[in-house]
Amino acid sequence: MPHSLTVRELAVRLGTPVTLNGPVDTRVDSVRVVDNHADILSVAAGCALVLTGDATREAWRLERGIRLAWERAVSCVVISAADVTGPEPAELAARLGVALITLDTGVLDATVRFAAIIATDEASEAGTLAEAARAFGVAKMSPRRALATLHRLLPDHEFALTDHAGAHVAGEQRVSEAGSHELHVRVPFPDPRFQARLVGRPRRGPGERDASNATAATVARLAIAPLTSWAALRHIAFGRDVSRAETLLAAVMAADGAPSEKLRGGLAAGGWPLGSRYRAAKLLASGGRSAALDELVLARVSELATQAFASPHGDGWAVFFAVPLTGEQKVAQATIAQLVAADPRVARIAVGVSTACESTEPPEPALAEADRAAYIAQSTPSLVMFSEGLTPEAALPALLGADAEVAARALLKPLLEVDRDGALLKTLVVSLDHNDRPAQVAQVLGVHRNTVTARLERVRGLGIDPSNPGHRLAIHIAARRVLDE
C-alpha cells in the first residue's frame, strides 16, 4: 500500500455526515472497536479507535477512553453523537491533540465501512486513480464541479483553476494567488493559444509526501479532458447562439467588477481577459447589426492574437480584448486594424475604443467610452476613434454630418447622463451664445450669476470645457443641436 489515508480522507470516503476535531492529517493504519477501557491498553498505535458500549456509557467513561487512546498514540477516536452530552469530549481531544470523529449514525455500521476502506485498495494510489477515472469519465465538466471533485478525491490537497494570465477562475482563491505551486497542469481552456492552468498544493508543508503529490498530479490530469470539452462546447455555443454571449455580458455588467465563481467559469470559456488589462471596443456597421456582421465579428475575434470576448450590444458589437503593460498602444492598434479590415459582406465598419482598464475594473464605464467614440468614428475618414483622441475638435466633422444628432449626444454624453432637468445644457448653450458673460446669461435664465458660475464649473468638471478655443465650436454646435431637438 503506497500510503495510508489521513483522518480527513477517511471521513470523506465514509460518505456520511461527521464532525471532525483535532489533527485531521494524522495517518490511519487500521481500525479497532472496543467497548471497555481494558481493551484500549492493547490497541496498536496509528489505529482508528472506535469506542462503544461501556466505554461510552457515561460522560466520565468517554473522557477516560479518550485519555487512554491518547496514551496509546492512536490516530483518531471514533464515537457516536448519541453518546455525547456536551462539548467536553471535543474540547478534551483538542487539548490532547487527538483527532476525534463524531458520527451522526451508529458506530458499528461505520466501523465496517472504515475497515473496508482501509483494508482494500480504496485506500491505495490505485484506488484513488480508479475512483478519479470514474469521476472524470464524463463528456464535460464545469470548473466548479471539477474543482469540487478534486477536493473530494484529494482532501489533503487544495486546487484552483486560473486563466493563462493567472486570474482566478474556480477553486481556492488563496491557491490562485500563491507565488508557487507544487502541482501545475495546463488545460487548453478555452483556446490552445491561451491555456488555463490547474494548480494545486498539499495542505501540509511543501515537499512532504512526494508519492501523494505524484498521485494528485495524475488525478489532476484526468480533469483536463472534461474541462476542455466543457469550455469548447460553451465556446461553440456562443458562436451558434449569440444570445448566450449577450446573456453573459449582461451578467458581468451586473456584477460590477466582482463576478461570482460560476460566472468566472463562463467568462473564461468565452475568452474574457479575466487576469489582464483590457480595452473595450464598440463596432458599428453601416446599416446596423446583421447576420453578416455577427459572422464577421465572431470569425475575426477567434483569429485575434490577443485574448478577447465578443457579444452583440445594441445596434452593434462589443469586444473586450486583453492588452499588455508594455507596448499596449501597438497591440490595441493592431487588434482594431484586424477587426475593421475591409470585407465584402459589410459595406463599412466603424469602431470606438475605450482607454485601457485594469482587470479588476468593471466593464460598464469602458463600454460606455467605446460606445461614445464609435458614433463619432462613423464620420471620420479612418472610421476608428480611440477615447484618448475623442475631443470636440475631432468630433466636429460628425457634428456636421447626416447623423449629427447622434454625434452630438455622444460628445455630450457625460453631461446628459447627469443633467436630469436640462439646466446644465441650457446654461452651457446660453453662455456660448452670449460669449461667456455671466451677467447676461443670468438675466436670460432668470437666475443669480453665482448659479451660472457654479453650473459652468460643473460642466467643466465633466470634461466639457468651452473655454478651450479648439473645442468651443464643436461644443457649441453639439449643445445647440441637442437643446433644439
pLDDT in tens, 352-372: 999 999 988 899 989 988 988
Give the residue-averaged pLDDT of 36-43.
91
Evaluate whether 48 touches 75 at the Cβ level (below 8 Å): yes
34's enclosing H/E stretch is strand 30-34
* 449 Cβ contact partners less than 8 Å away, ≥ 6 residues apart: 438, 439, 441, 442
Copy the grid coordinates of residue 355. 482607454
Question: Does residue 392 surpass a pLDDT of 80?
Answer: no
Tell me the pTM: 0.63
Among candidate residues 49, 94, 95, the one with its CA nearest the CA of residue 72: 49
Angle (CA) 118-36-66 rounded to 5° is 70
Copy the grid coordinates of residue 140. 464535460
Residue 204 banded pLDDT, cuts 50, 70, 90? low
Question: Does residue 443 surpass a pLDDT of 60?
Answer: yes
For residue 211, the model assigns a pLDDT of 44
* 351 Cβ contact partners less than 8 Å away, ≥ 6 residues apart: 281, 282, 283, 284, 336, 339, 340, 374, 377, 383, 384, 385
User: Would strands 47-51 and 183-191 be described as parallel, antiparallel, or unpaired?
Assistant: unpaired
Question: Does residue 282 surpass a pLDDT of 70?
Answer: yes
Q: Distance between CA 112 and CA 444 in Å, rounded?
A: 93
Evaluate whether 407 touches 371 at the Cβ level (below 8 Å): no
Copy the grid coordinates of residue 136. 472524470
Residue 315 banded pLDDT, cuts 50, 70, 90? confident
Q: Distance between CA 185 and CA 232 in Å, rounded?
A: 18
Among candidate residues 88, 207, 211, 216, the one with its CA nearest the CA of residue 158: 216
Residue 321 banded pLDDT, cuts 50, 70, 90? very high
Q: What secondary structure does DSSP assign to 336-347, as a single string?
A: HHHHT--BTTBS
Give the residue-averaged pLDDT of 297-305.
83
Copy the grid coordinates of residue 127. 484506488
For residue 73, the model assigns a pLDDT of 92
Among candidate residues 43, 38, 87, the one with its CA nearest the CA of residue 64: 38
Among candidate residues 193, 195, 199, the one with its CA nearest the CA of residue 147: 199
Q: What secondary structure does DSSP assign to 152-173, as a single string?
A: HH-TTEEEEEE-TT--EEEE-H
Question: Does residue 180 surpass a pLDDT of 50?
Answer: yes
Q: Beta strands of 303-403 (E only): which ranges? A: 308-313, 316-323, 349-353, 384-386
| Residue 3, helix vs strand vs coil | coil
Copy the grid coordinates of residue 485. 431637438
Question: Does residue 4 surpass a pLDDT of 90?
Answer: no
Question: Does residue 208 surpass a pLDDT of 50?
Answer: no
- Name residue, grid cell 461510552: 56
- Name residue, grid cell 483590457: 278
pLDDT in tens, 85-135: 888 999 999 999 999 999 887 788 788 878 777 765 444 667 778 888 888
Phi, psi of 150 (to 5 degrees): -60, -40
Residue type for 433, please? D
Sign of the Cα torsion 271, 253, 369, 385 reads positive
Spell out a b/e string for 95-106, using b for 16 or more CB atoms within 10 Å of the CB, else e.
Answer: eeebbbbbbeee
- Phi/psi region, residue 327 (left: phi>0; alpha: psi -120 to 50; beta: rest), is left
Residue 205 banded pLDDT, cuts 50, 70, 90? very low
